[in-house]
C-alpha cells in the first residue's frame, strides 16, 4: 500500500502535543511534579545545573590514558571549568565539595543502544553510570519525552539522542503513536513500500527524532523468530537511509546475518547494531565507509541465561561468535561503541558492556573508550561527553578501584554526578 501524500501537522504544534502525551507514557509528569506541565514556556526554561568541586580522587582521561592522582574537577553551571592535579588547579571558594579520596574519577559513561520507555528506567540508567545515551527506539515516542526530561532535570535521565519509533515492517500498536501513522493500519504490505518507509522516517523526524532506527533481520530475543531471516532488502534499507539523510539524520540498523549486515552497511547506515555474523568483507567495508559497530554483547550474553531453551541455546552459540567479530572489528579499525540494548523494564549497567568488550580482546583502556570518547563521537557529543576537560559537561562517575585493573568497578559506581548535581 502507498501512504497518502499528506504532510504531518506542523512541528510547532505536534511537538507540544507529543511531548505531553509521551511524558504521560514515560511517567515524566510524576517525576517533574504536577505543577510543571510540558508547555512551550517550560520547554524554553533553562535546565537545572550545579556547581561542584570533586577533589582528592584519581582522574582518568580516556582520550589520552593519562592518570592524575589527587586530582580536582571544578564544575560550574554544569560544565567543567578546570580539571587536573590539585596544586595546578584553581579551586573557587564557596562551592560544594565532593570528597573522592581513595576513588577513581571518570567521565560519565555513554550507553549507545538503550530503550528507555519510562522515567524510572531513565533514572536507573543514570544511577548505573550512563549519563548520556542513544535510544534504540520506543513504541510511542517516549524517548523524545525522556530527552526533554533530561534537559529539564538532568539527574533524572541521561542526555539522550532519541530515535522515535522503529522503522519495521509491522508497526503493530505503534500506529497509534501518532495520527500520521494510522494510515498504515491494516495495510497488507505494512511498512515495506518506498512511500511507507519514507513516511515513517519523516514522521519520526517531524516529531523531533535525532536518529532513525530500522532493521534488516528478525529479532534474536523472540524464540519464534529467526534472527537470520532478512525482513528488508538492500533497496528498502537504501530508502530509509536516503529519507533520514534528507532530514539530516543517520540510521542505526538491527542486524544479525552476514548478508543482512552487508546490505545494511552498503545501503549507508551510520551504525550496525548486534551484527553477530558480520564478516571480514563487511568489516572492511565498514572501515572504508566509517560505519560504527554497536555489538550489544550484554544483550547477547543475557540470552544464554534465559529460561527459554531456544533463547538459551541461541545465546550460548552467538556470544563467542560475536566476541570474535568484536575483536576482528577492532583489529580492522572499525570504531566500536558500548550499548546494552536494555529494554522491558530492566536496565543493565553499561559498565558490564565495557567488561565484555575487554573479554572480547580489547585492552582495558580501549574498552573504556567504547563507552566514553568513541561513543561521544558517534553521538555527536565530542565536546560535551566522554572526557572531563574544560568545556565538557559536568557528568562523572566515582568508582572504588582502578578500572584499568578491574573493569568490574564500572558496573557499580559509588557516586554519579550529572551536570554538576550528585545523583
Q: Using CA atoms, how far apart are residues 149 and 159, in angstroms rounded to an integer?
A: 9
Residue 23 has pLDDT above 80, yes or no: no
pLDDT digits (tens, 9 = 90+) for 116-139: 999 999 999 999 999 999 999 999
- With a pLDDT cut of 90, the percent of the chain lying above it is 86
pTM of the model: 0.90
Q: Using CA atoms, how far apart are residues 417 and 193, in angstroms rounded to an integer?
A: 46
Mean pLDDT of 279-288: 98
Q: What is the pLDDT of residue 187?
A: 81
The domain defined by 109-383 folds into TIM Barrel (3.20.20)
Give the residue among 115, 141, 145 at the shortest CA–CA distance from 37: 145
Helices 234-246 and 258-267: angle between axes, nearest 10 degrees:
30
Q: Using CA atoms, how far apart are residues 21 and 265, in angstroms rounded to an integer?
A: 35
> Cβ-count burial of 10 within 10 angstroms (0-12 exposed, 13-18 middle, 19+ buried)?
exposed
Confidence of residue 48 (pLDDT cuts 50, 70, 90): confident
Q: Using CA atoms, how far apart are residues 312 and 316, in angstroms rounded to an integer?
A: 6
Decide which of 46 and 186 is more confident: 186
H or E element that contains 417 = strand 415-418
pLDDT digits (tens, 9 = 90+) for 302-345: 999 999 999 999 999 999 999 999 999 999 999 999 999 999 89
Three-class DSSP category at 4 = coil
Mean pLDDT of 384-391: 98
CB 396 within 8 A of CB 54: yes
Q: Which residues pair with 292 in a beta bridge?
A: 271
Q: What is the pLDDT of residue 153?
A: 95
HSE-CB at 110 with a 13 A cutoff on CA atoms is 33
* 221 contact partners, CB below 8 Å, separation of at least 6: 299, 303, 311
Q: What is the pLDDT of residue 172?
A: 94
Q: 183-200 as b/e, with b when 16 or more CB fall inside 10 Å? A: bbeebeebbbbbebbbbb
CB 129 within 8 A of CB 350: yes
Q: What are the structural domain ranges in the chain? A: 109-383
Q: Using CA atoms, how far apart are residues 255 and 227, in angstroms rounded to an integer?
A: 8
* 370 contact partners, CB below 8 Å, separation of at least 6: 336, 337, 338, 353, 354, 357, 362
Per-chain mean pLDDT for the chain: 91
Confidence of residue 107 (pLDDT cuts 50, 70, 90): very high
Residue 6 has pLDDT above 50, yes or no: no
Q: Using CA atoms, how far apart are residues 339 and 359, in angstroms rounded to an integer?
A: 15
Amino acid at each position: 500500500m502507498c501512504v497518502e501524500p499528506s504532510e504531518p501537522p506542523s512541528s510547532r504544534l505536534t511537538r507540544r502535543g507529543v511531548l505531553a502525551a509521551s511524558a504521560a507514557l514515560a511517567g515524566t509528569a510524576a517525576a517533574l511534579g504536577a505543577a510543571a506541565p510540558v508547555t512551550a514556556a517550560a520547554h524554553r526554561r533553562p535546565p537545572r545545573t550545579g556547581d561542584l568541586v570533586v577533589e582528592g580522587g584519581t582522574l582518568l582521561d580516556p582520550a589520552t590514558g593519562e592518570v592524575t592522582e589527587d586530582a580536582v574537577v571544578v564544575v560550574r553551571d554544569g560544565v567543567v571549568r578546570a580539571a587536573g592535579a590539585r596544586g595546578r588547579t584553581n579551586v573557587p571558594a564557596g562551592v560544594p565539595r565532593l570528597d573522592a579520596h581513595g576513588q577513581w574519577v571518570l567521565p560519565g559513561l555513554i550507553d549507545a543502544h538503550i530503550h528507555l520507555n519510562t522515567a524510572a528506567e531513565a533514572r536507573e540508567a543514570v544511577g548505573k553510570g550512563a549519563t548520556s545515551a542513544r535510544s534504540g527506539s520506543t513504541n510511542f515516542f517516549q524517548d523524545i519525552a525522556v530527552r526533554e526530561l533530561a534537559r529539564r532535570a538532568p539527574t533524572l535521565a541521561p542526555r539522550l539522542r532519541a530515535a522515535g519509533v522503529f522503522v519495521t515492517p509491522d508497526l503493530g500498536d505503534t500506529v497509534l503513536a501518532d495520527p500520521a501513522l494510522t494510515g498504515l493500519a491494516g495495510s497488507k504490505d505494512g511498512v515495506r513500500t518506498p512511500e511507507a518507509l519514507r513516511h515513517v522516517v519523516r514522521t519520526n523526524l517531524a516529531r523531533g527524532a535525532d536518529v532513525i532506527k530500522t532493521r534488516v533481520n528478525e529479532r534474536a530475543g523472540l524464540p519464534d523468530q529467526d534472527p537470520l531471516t532478512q525482513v528488508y532488502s538492500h533497496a528498502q534499507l537504501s530508502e530509509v537511509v536516503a529519507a533520514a539523510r534528507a532530514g539530516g539524520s543517520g540510521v542505526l540498523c538491527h542486524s544479525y546475518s552476514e548478508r543482512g549486515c552487508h546490505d545494511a552497511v552498503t545501503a549507508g547506515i551510520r551504525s550496525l547494531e548486534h551484527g553477530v555474523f558480520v564478516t571480514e568483507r563487511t568489516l572492511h567495508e565498514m572501515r572504508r565507509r566509517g560505519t560504527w559497530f554497536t555489538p550489544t554483547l550484554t544483550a547477547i550474553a543475557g540470552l544464554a541465561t534465559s529460561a527459554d531453551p531456544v533463547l538459551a541455546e541461541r545465546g550460548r552459540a552467538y556470544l563467542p561468535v560475536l566476541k570474535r567479530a568484536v575483536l576482528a572489528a577492532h583489529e580492522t579499525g572499525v570504531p566500536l561503541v558500548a550499548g546494552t540494548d536494555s529494554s522491558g523494564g530492566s536496565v543493565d549497567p553499561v559498565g558490564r558492556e565495557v567488561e565484555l568488550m575487554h573479554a572480547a580482546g580489547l585492552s582495558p583502556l580501549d574498552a573504556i573508550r567504547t563507552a566514553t570518547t568513541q561513543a561521544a563521537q558517534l553521538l555527536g557529543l565530542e565536546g560535551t561527553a566522554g572526557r572531563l576537560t574544560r568545556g565538557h559537561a559536568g557528568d562523572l562517575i566515582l568508582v572504588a578501584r582502578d578500572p584499568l585493573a578491574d573493569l568490574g568497578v564500572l558496573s557499580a559506581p559509588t557516586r554519579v554526578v550529572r551536570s554538576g548535581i550528585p545523583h
